[in-house]
Chain A
């Protein structure tokens, strides 16, 4: 990478002004806000006010009234009701009579949580490793770089699958830390680990070019220790890059959660997530295609918005923050 000047102080304010002038960024931010609002405060509100079915409530024998007729939620041949403009079963039901719309709202909570928390973990680890290895240099640098190379050489899905299957059997038990195999922490940690190299490498590159600049020399001359230099001088200068990566990594992580859940090694089966809903819906795609199509669209809309926002953030903050992860 070519040396790039660090973002000047006050860069965030300029960036915000640039973002406000970008209609695509505003639209995608609004879409994301709507999705987050619908999933977090919206899901229980919908359940208590529009239709009294929780995400896991079955209703195989039930009926709903539509145009004055009584319609069964699940027909005798096992075909569930399809999408339609009504309060209950807006997007139809699955073969257990569960409300797909409610499941997508609650599934969105899990998918967004997993995507966001694992992105935070991933970017934090990447910041620590990237800054440390570039600033310390020498043995530390080669050790960290080799480790990143190694993780990076694994095909992403195979590594995630290997880790997730191993953890999924009996959970993680390292010393005093004990994580149950049904915990959400497992997909979060797995997804965070596999993408660390993609973020840590560019951060390391950036710090390598920052390290030779005069303000670092000035800090050293004024007696600042290495920890202070890393935290007070280097970290703020890669913060904008990290923020861009964070947005883009959340998008990737949501896709990865879906893929891992689809393979059966992501979020535990009984917890609805967008990936799990697709995985279960796919079994009956011929009789009830909406169970596959609707959650996939939810993923797509969310991920497109995150990617648009990430691109806009990059244009506004740090045009050098390039990230590309292959599905």
Chain B
């Protein structure tokens, strides 16, 4: 187990190194991204540009520049952006609680609703809930998520905002949990729903199908034959196994949300988390923050994937022997 864990951690580091090289190459080898021109301001002289190139180390060989950037990112931790010369790490640190608030809240909503609906529709297979679920799951994976957020924001906080049931929804922004827990929740309500809606249907379908598969397994029949109550068979024997694929899926998804999807949601709701920082850096073609943010995103993707694998080993006794 320890050996497995160490192996996976080494793999994680290797992937991050490879990704950092890739991002660096993408931005440096392809022509046009010369940051010196941008740093020099509107009417630069040749001498100005040469000076900046020298000061920022753009005249060094590429590998020196790469190690320099990694040094500033991980060891000295004082990487600054090309665009406005502000430090990158404090901006990310400021964004992380916002992004995690968004992702964790949405994940809770989609897991609770997804599993409940999935189990119900598996138990009542073929009934109306089951049919509705198929449609909802399909719509969920087919809506452009940023569009859903934009339209919900418009309808609930502008068009029908005067309706008493919607008037408490604020039009975007973020309030820290430590300052005002109620305000934190109301401000995150719409982003949570937006992010959860696209997943609830899909998760419910996975739970449903997995439940239908496990219900007829031999060990479930044995449990029934032993005379256990139906609810005990369902919870201890059927559910435990049928949630395994959900755990793996969740690991992949949570990493992908924290490391990627937030870039589409945060700007809509003005949450100013890591995703919005990424979106702004993209708009300015700003390499240092994009480098840090890509590594941050990749870390989440790989880390949660690893976590999902380990949970799988723990949940499914069969997988440990092979």
Contacts and interface: CB of A to CB of B under 8 A. Distances in A.
Interface in A280-322: 282, 285-286, 289, 292-293, 296, 299-300, 303-304, 307-308, 311
A12 B297 CA distance: 42
Interface stretch (A65-73, A152-160, A215-223): A152-160
B48 interface: no
Interface residues of A, number: 46
B25 to A, nearest CB: 9
Contacts of A171: 32
A234 interface: no
A324 B257 CA distance: 14
Contacts of B261: 157, 326-327
18 contacts: A154-B298, A154-B301, A155-B255, A155-B260, A156-B260, A158-B278, A163-B26, A165-B285, A166-B32, A170-B31, A258-B147, A263-B279, A292-B147, A292-B154, A296-B143, A296-B151, A326-B257, A327-B198
A166 B142 CA distance: 28
The number of chain B residues touching the other chain, given as a range, is: 35 or more
B22 A150 contact: yes
Interface in B164-222: 198, 202
Contact of B282 (A155, A265, A307): A265
A242 interface: no
A154 B259 CA distance: 9
Which 3 pairs show the lowest CB-CB distances between chains A and B? A170-B32, A155-B260, A169-B32
B30 A172 contact: yes
B23 interface: yes
A158 B32 contact: no
Contacts of A165: 282, 285, 290
Contacts of A300: 139, 142-144
A308 B138 contact: yes
B66 to A, nearest CB: 15
A307 B141 contact: yes
A172 B32 CA distance: 10
Given A158-B263, A304-B138, A327-B145, A166 B301 contact: no
A282 B268 CA distance: 10
Interface in B283-312: 283, 285, 290, 293-294, 297-298, 300-302
A259 interface: yes
Contacts of A326: 252-253, 256-257, 260-261
A149 interface: yes
Interface in A230-271: 251, 255, 258-259, 262-265
B264 A157 contact: yes
Interface of A: 149-150, 153-159, 161-163, 165-167, 169-173, 251, 255, 258-259, 262-265, 278, 282, 285-286, 289, 292-293, 296, 299-300, 303-304, 307-308, 311, 324, 326-327
Contacts of B283: 264
A93 to B, nearest CB: 19
Given A169-B32, A326-B253, A285 B19 contact: no
Contact of A307 (B30, B138, B150, B159): B138
A161 B259 CA distance: 13
